[in-house]
Structure 1
Amino acid sequence: MSKILIRGAQVLGGEPQDVLIDGSEIAGVGQGLSAEGADVVEADGKILLPGLVDLHTHLREPGREDSETVLTGTRAAASGGYTSVFAMANTFPVADTAGVVEQVYRLGKESGYCDVQPIGAVTVGLEGRKLAELGAMHESAAGVTVFSDDGKCVDDAVIMRRALEYVKAFGGVVAQHAQEPRLTEGAQMNEGVVSAELGLGGWPAVAEESIIARDVLLAEHVGSRVHICHLSTAGSVEIVRWAKSRGIDVTAEVTPHHLLLTDELVRSYNPVYKVNPPLRTERDVMALREALADGTIDIVATDHAPHPHEDKDCEWAAAAMGMVGLETALSVVQHTMVDTGLLTWEGVAERMSWAPARIGRAAGHGRPVSAGEPANLTLLDPAYRGSVDPAGFASRSRNTPYEGRELPGRVTHTWLRGRATLVDGKLQ
């Protein structure tokens, strides 16, 4: 690989500096670095961040290649500034054995656009009755450390306790989809004023909060790690805050869409806004932003959930739940957190790179932008303003809630171990 000089970038939003990439590593960071023999990227006014890490991505392969493949999903990730993604287990077949996680891991290696770390299922077939092969998946070539039945809740307390005990032996983490199933039977949207007016089945906040409360207590009892997926309510924030004050080893994530969108949008009956957990109230959105700012919520994770056109372009009740998010995540975070003064760019690096890499143990990712570190980097133009056009997405699916909405910021370059995967907004 040739040398690359990124000239005049605001590293983590600070003073302009040059960053020299030599091969797969950062060779130097400073002002006035030599450009001899290097390809020069002029980065005046742009923000340089460590490559983003997504702890919650649905790549759909194997089994739902009509929605997404590992290749198309990682191309979308690179377009959004990601160099590492964790692929959820709810594929067909389910990623509940060493064989399936190794298949996903191998497909990620072949794609070349970002590193793919499979997440293993907690229970066989996501059925919640019997633990999956957690140890075998960890010891496989994929080296799985994160386990989740995402899309379904591990609602059996005994099974959840056993999972926490099992992963503790090798420092793994259980990522819980917090949804008490009996409280959400027939639920279509957030339970509240809007659901009552629309006559749609309500999805109460307590269905999420009760599971989180149980699981942090189980994690404390076992002395293990638990991670809360896509936290969405103000009450959930308070439970996680309380748990952390007790020293319980809990981490939590919030999605970009839960930082911006509210249940008022469901009045349109547009299924693009149908998601699990559902869009909540403005009060919840503000609580989530504040919690992300103060560190109660550790990370932003996309919950990138691609669906083919026919699964979303139908009546509300029949529509699939989920939104694509890899290609718009950084723009939404800039809009909701940076442009509002709630986070600095260094804070964004912590919540979208360093912390998710720590939680998932993504080797070589979430590292400082300094000499000797792997050259996994993202360059963003924060002054850009433009309307979201899903026709230009690299993802195979187009189910974005932001179509036509103006959002700030544009990822111009992404480097994976010194190799450009995105240059001037174009995939390589």
Structure 2
Amino acid sequence: MNIPQNTELEKISIQAQSTLEKISYPTKKNEDWKFTRISDFNPESFNSAKVNFVSQEIINDIVGNESNTYKIVLIDGIISSKYSNYPQEKWVTLSFSEALKSEKYQSILLSKVNSISDKEHYFNTLNMASYQEGIFIYVPKQTIEEELIELIYINSEQDQKAIRNLRNLIIIEDQSKIQISEKIYSLSEFDFFSNIVTEIFVGKNADFRLYKIQDDVPTSYLIDSTFIEQEADSTALIHTFSFGGKTVRNELSFDHKGENINSTLKGITIIGEGQEVGNHTLVKHNQPNCESHELYRGIYQNSSHGIFNGKIKVNKIAQKTNAFQQNNNILLSEKSSIDTKPQLEIFADDVKCSHGCTVGQLDNDALFYMKQRGIHEKEAKALLMFAFCADVMETVFIPHLKNKINKIVAKKLGVNSDFEI
């Protein structure tokens, strides 16, 4: 167990350890975990991940040489100054241990960390009790950053099954804008479990965009819990693209703290043999005149399993709320399955709220029509599935990022990467 050496943070971690002893490990009797392969996440099956050497050749291959993005590279949870590239004069990126040494940022970190995450959630509490470093990003007021920031996690080779708990804190002050993509690369041939908690504070009239690209190795497991608190007139847009990993559980929670807030949650899941991806979302409309738009699309092949559990809660004072939630799924095999549960809890009477879900197969009439016009069946199916994903991809406004995701989608569908969504 690695508790940072700071009195206040130690208190928080020790309290989390105490709480962990009182709460139960989730089972399928718990409604939120009913469909999840919970046994895959049993922390007793894993040892604490070690910090090991990763060759420069491997890191260079992962990081790439794109010059139109900034990069924050974490090797075994520790920021690598050698491979990272970002302008500290505009916004601040530090490890928790570095931020705690700074008189300027220590109080900011301590006032925010562990303040909006679910303290009764077993894995969030486990994370707080035993996290191994984390990243602190602070964007001052009226800071506009147009370049994409790539957050790259590299987990080194391990000699046994391992778990790493990482905790992130991102603060975007008023009238600022920032956009981040994140991706995990696990190098171990043994099962590797990443338990990541990220707390994000979006200030008044701020704009925040996050693109999660999940395409890790087949021996990886992930619980990715993200908590977002938005102030008045702010925008937060989160895309989650799930392609790789053995078992993945994404949890997104939005909390509205002012009026005229816009929250967008979108996702694409394309998985195959033996994979499971669950998307669990919660949007809390606490103030009037706010919007949330939620769209998740899933394509399930072979014996894969998907989960969608989305909830929108509208407080009684949250009049004029406009909330939309939709989950659409295609099953390409009799062995594939999806458990989907969209939910609305509305306590206000002047609102526009809708939700829905569909589960089906590819349109045989459309497939026949395309084949009649000389398009090979494999390409015809891929075109239909690309079109199925288009509504999600239309809000990815960064061309090179969109192109990267297109290539991953094409690879998952087994077709030429010249296809574009």
TM-score (norm 1): 0.28
TM-score by length of 2: 0.29
Higher strand proportion (structure 1 or 2)? 2
Higher relative contact order (CA 8 A, sep 6+): 1
